[in-house]
Amino acid sequence: MKKILLFGLLILLSACTFQTKHRGYVFPENLENKISGIKTTGQLQEEIGDPQTKTIYGDEVWIYYGADENMRGPLPVTYSNKTVLLVWVKGNNITKTKVLHDEDLQDVKIASGETDIPAAIELNALEELFNNIGRFSPAGLGQ
């Protein structure tokens, strides 16, 4: 009985792995000091790299993001050490920088439901199957 209990406990503990993966950029410890001397986009790309995204409306802002993804067995995934670097760019010059950390970022709550799509047609699996008949051409016909 003890062997079975010990084996069960061992299996349960093996499911509780602790793993941390870094997502996005790995920023240096003294990020604020490092970017304070950077004045051009070339210097920024040399020090940190290309941005993950750039804004397309309004002022041109380069956005860098990095976080640690913590996986703790059956528990939900959590994120820590979140850092966002925002860089306002005009031409090849940097006009302003801002660094946001965990405490500066709001937690976004994702709604559990689904958003209804206006005028959407709801089909079950069988209707979907028959609805697609004849819609696709056979491979190799070039249509």
* 50 Cα distance to chain centroid: 16
pLDDT in tens, 119-138: 777 888 888 878 777 776 66
Burial (CB < 10 A; 0-12, 13-18, 19+), residue 43, is middle
The pTM of the full predicted model, rounded to 2 decimals, is 0.61
Length of the chain, in residues: 143
Domain boundaries, the chain: 30-102
Q: Residue 17: CA atoms inside 13 Å, Cβ hemisphere, count?
A: 6
Least confident of 14-23, 49-58, 59-68, 117-126: 14-23
Nearest to 68 by CA among 14, 27, 109: 27
pLDDT digits (tens, 9 = 90+) for 5-28: 877 777 766 666 778 888 888 888
Residue with tokens 């051009």: 40
